Each structure stands twice: as structure tokens, then as C-alpha cells.
Amino acid sequence: MKRKRLLAWFAMYAVLVVLAIMWTYPIVVAIQKSFAVGGVGNYTAVLNHDQFNYWSAIGNSFLMAGGSTVIIVVISCLGGFAFSRMRFPGRVFLYRALLACLAVPVASVVTPLFFSINSLGLRDSYFGVIIPLVAFNVMTMLLLTKNHFDGIPTELVEAATIDGARPFGVLWRIFLPLSGPLLANVSVLSFVYSWNEYLLPNLLISSPEKYPVTQAIALLQFERMSQEQIGQLYAGLILMTIPSVIVYLFSQRYLQSGLTAGAVKS
């Protein structure tokens, strides 16, 4: 028995080490190349680049990612509570139909998406990107939120209802205070997903001054690049990831409890 546990422990950590190497190797290579030719000067060159305005791109990314995150949190909380605790005709069918949208990749609907946003007059605008970001990320967060709300004791809801609380009051006074880790988890995941999105901004944003970091990094690329320019490109990639990594690290302690709270039931 002890030998089996030791073998299981060894196998688990062997797999984790292999996965860690696979994930960290590209990062290590990028950092090494960003210092290879030019050193710290590559980072200074990126921050003072003529075409690539790092701080403007960071602000655009925060606006798009932050705006979509706020909307996703609100929709997922309201929708998760409705599907978890409210009874209405077609509830199960509608919930399953919404979850089926998880199987639809963004790339498969770029043409109708482009024409829809363009017809609404929202192309080349921040809100024109925020709407699709919400649409493609909210389903996952709705799943997590609904499953977490399913685990909250029914007795609390019944006691609040007896005291005269309406559905929104139950959500606000009972469910949300008990869902701190989940809300942090939904917020962080929504922010990181939106921050790293490349296809939607590239499809819908055409003005360089509105580029988020994932799109603005293309301004550092040229047809024929010197070794120093390649180093600057890698430096830009590293700088691009720093804000999302900081957000992740500061909220890491909430992620595990939030994920387990919203990923057990189906």
C-alpha cells in the first residue's frame, strides 16, 4: 500500500514537472531573447518607441478587459441565480442551449460578427469589442456561478423568504456575501481571457491609437528585422504580459477555492 502511494506520488509530480517545463520554456526563451542583443535597452526602446505607445495600449487593454469583466460578473451572477433558484418555463432547456454555445469558437462566426458590429456602427470602438468579449466569455462564468449557487443551503433561502426578502434581496444579502472567492475567480478569469484576446480586436479595431497590447505589439514587427529589433519585439511581448500576470498573482489565493466551488456540479 505504501509502495503504491509512493508510485502515485512520483507519477503525479513527474507529470507536473513535465507540464511546468512545457509552460515555462517559452517564457524563459522570450526573456533570454529580450536581453540577448541590447539588454535592458530593449525595454527602454519599447517604452519610448515612436509607433508603439505602450502606456496607451495598456490603457486600452484595461478599458476593454475591465469593462467586459464588470459586465460578465453582473450577468453571470444574475443568470446563475435565476437558473439555480428561480423556476420558470423552459429553464433547463434554455440553460442547456446557452451552454451549447461553449462549443462555438470565435473564428467560426467572424464574418457575421463583423457585419453585425459594423451595422450597429460600433466597429473601431471600444464597446464594439467589449460586446463580443462578453458574449464569448460569459457562458463559462455562468456555468461556474450557477454551480456554486446550487451548493448554497436551501434553508438560508427559505429563511430569507419567510422574512420577506425578494429574489434580488436573497441574491444581494445571502448569495453574494457567501461567494467572495467565486466572484474573485470569475473576475480574474474574465479579465485574463479578455486581456489575452487577439482575434476580436484585430477584427474590429483599425485605429492604432485604440489598439490593445495584443494588437499594438504588431507595430514592433517589420518585414526584415535586425537582431536588436527582434530583442525589442520580445521585450514588448514580456511587457505586454506583466499586467495580467500581476492581476493573476494578487488573486491567486482565490482561484483554487473559486474553481472548486463552481466546477463540481453540472
Distance CA(242)–CA(101), nearest Å, equals 31
Q: Output the average pLDDT for the chain.
A: 85
Q: Rounded to whole angstroms, what are the CA distances from 102 to 95, 105, 136, 140?
A: 12, 8, 8, 7
User: What pLDDT, on the 0 to 100 scale, is given for residue 264?
Assistant: 45
Residues 6+ apart with CB under 8 A from 66: 191
DSSP assignment of 183-244, as one string?
A: HHHHHHHHHHHHHH--HHHHHH---GGG--HHHHGGGG--SS--HHHHHHHHHHHHHHHHHH
Cell of 150: 446550487
The more confidently predicted of residues 198 and 266 is 198
Asked if residue 254 has pLDDT above 70, the reply is no
User: What pLDDT, on the 0 to 100 scale, is given for residue 34?
Assistant: 86
CA 154 to the chain's CA centroid = 31
Asked if residue 206 has pLDDT above 70, the reply is yes
User: What pLDDT, on the 0 to 100 scale, is given for residue 142?
Assistant: 92
Q: Rounded to whole angstroms, what are the CA distances from 72 to 42, 67, 69, 133?
A: 37, 9, 5, 9
User: What pLDDT, on the 0 to 100 scale, is given for residue 103?
Assistant: 84
Instruction: Show me where the domains of the chain are located.
Output: 55-226+240-262
Supply the pTM of this predicted model: 0.83
Predicted confidence (pLDDT) per residue in 44-71, tens digit: 988 888 888 889 999 999 999 999 999 9
Helix 54-85 vs helix 126-150: crossing angle, to nearest 10: 40
Predicted confidence (pLDDT) per residue in 96-112, tens digit: 898 888 888 888 888 89
User: What pLDDT, on the 0 to 100 scale, is given for residue 50?
Assistant: 80
Cell of 56: 496607451
Cβ proximity of 117 and 204 under 8 Å: yes
Is residue 262 very low, low, confident or very high in pLDDT (cuts 50, 70, 90)?
Answer: very low
Residues 6+ apart with CB under 8 A from 114: 123, 203, 204
User: What pLDDT, on the 0 to 100 scale, is given for residue 259?
Assistant: 52
pLDDT, average across residues 135-164: 87
Is residue 1 very low, low, confident or very high in pLDDT (cuts 50, 70, 90)?
Answer: low
Distance CA(228)–CA(42), nearest Å, equals 7
Asked if residue 255 has pLDDT above 70, the reply is no
Distance CA(98)–CA(146), nearest Å, equals 12
User: What pLDDT, on the 0 to 100 scale, is given for residue 201?
Assistant: 92
Is residue 266 very low, low, confident or very high in pLDDT (cuts 50, 70, 90)?
Answer: very low
pLDDT, average across residues 194-203: 90
User: What pLDDT, on the 0 to 100 scale, is given for residue 249?
Assistant: 78
Cell of 266: 453540472
Helix (H, G, I), strand (E, B) or coil at 40: coil
Asked if residue 263 has pLDDT above 50, the reply is no
Burial class (CB in 10 A: 0-12, 13-18, 19+), 181: buried
User: What pLDDT, on the 0 to 100 scale, is given for residue 106?
Assistant: 85
User: What pLDDT, on the 0 to 100 scale, is given for residue 78?
Assistant: 93
Which residues in 183-213 are b (16+ Cβ under 10 Å) and which e? bbbbbbbbbbbbbebebbbbbbbeeeebbbb
Asked if residue 7 has pLDDT above 70, the reply is yes
User: What pLDDT, on the 0 to 100 scale, is given for residue 205?
Assistant: 92
pLDDT, average across residues 137-143: 91
The more confidently predicted of residues 249 and 116 is 116
Cβ proximity of 46 and 235 under 8 Å: yes
CATH of 55-226+240-262, one of 3.40.50.2300, 1.25.40.390, 3.40.50.920, 1.10.3720.10: 1.10.3720.10
Distance CA(219)–CA(213), nearest Å, equals 10
